[in-house]
Each structure stands twice: as structure tokens, then as C-alpha cells.
Amino acid sequence: VAPTNEEQKIIHDLFLNTLDANTVSFRSRVLPPNSVWMEDAKLKGLEICHPQQRNIFNRIFGGFLMRKAYELGWANACSFGGCRPSLVAVDDILFQKPVEIGSLLMLSSQVCYTQGKYIQVRVHSEVFDPLTRQHSTTNIFHYTFASDRDVPSVIPQTYGESMLYLDGKRHFNQTLES
């Protein structure tokens, strides 16, 4: 979803706050105090999907995928916040594609938004086929965690990261509303 005018201003302000006043160049960026570049707030994992995790349809059980995504998201929030976070919310989960037994399941966790003591984490789940070298998204999970202390702000550097930031902010705001 394209950013609203208000969201465009948020991204623009984040960008301006990271410009180096000494060089006055768009290429020279400075990380504000108590902040972390979004690029540095990632964790990745890989699972080989064994028959022990199969469901009645002879595919990988969705609960196994949910658990692995949660564990990676929690570990990312834990390492980002510097303490053991508690789970506040899990967004709706849509199983976009089944995962076959023997698949290489790649999980990528990204802290995409923070506010105060809250950490919004997105976990992207995909199957990698080593024969065709193709990646296929199976799920995207959104988790909201709470730390026992305020956490650093996460700052996007690219347009793609800015869209992840806005998506995370939207999911976080939906969590607050419910």
C-alpha cells in the first residue's frame, strides 16, 4: 500500500534526521543517538523440513512453521532489546503456500518498527528449491513484543526498508487499537 501523506512526512523526517550536517550530502548518513539501522536488526534461520513435522495431508504442519517463526522473531526481539521480551500480539496468519517434506525453509526476521518498550518484528518464511534456485514465499508473520525497558529506535536507510518500517508501524497501531 502506498504511503499516505502523513506517512511520507514520517519517512522524510527520518531521512532528514540521518543526514550528516558536515557534508550536506545525501550519501553521507549518520545514525541518531539511541538508534539502530534497520539493516542491523535482522536474524535468519534455516530448517530442513523432516517427515516428523508432517500433517494429515503429508505436508509440513502449520503449527511447526508458526513455532519456528515465533522462536526466530522472539530471538531477534531479545537480541535487539537486550532482555527477554514478552509477546503482546500475533497478527493474523495466512498460509500462502504449503511446505513440502524435505523442503529447505528459510526464515528471515526483521525488527521493522519500535516505539518505547515495544518491538514490532516481521518474519518472512520461504521455501528454497536448490534444483531450480527459486524462492517461494510461504508465510509472513507479524509479532509485537514488549521489553522491560525502552528500546532503541530502528531507522530505515532505503526506500524498501522505509516501506517495511511503515508496514510495521501500521501493524503496531492495529495492535494498539484492539
Reported as a single tens digit per residue, the pLDDT across 13-51 is 999 889 877 776 677 788 999 999 999 999 999 999 999
In this prediction, residue 130 carries a pLDDT of 85
pLDDT digits (tens, 9 = 90+) for 117-159: 999 999 999 999 888 899 999 999 999 999 999 999 999 999 9
DSSP code at position 148? S
Alpha helix positions (H), the chain:
5-17, 62-81, 159-177
What per-residue string of b and e applies to 86-120 under the rule 16 or more CB within 10 Å gives b? eebbebeeeeeeebeeebebbbbbbbbbbbebbbb
**Is residue 66 within 8 Å of 25, Cβ to Cβ?**
no
Instruction: Give the chain's domains with CATH numbers.
Output: 34-177 (3.10.129.10)
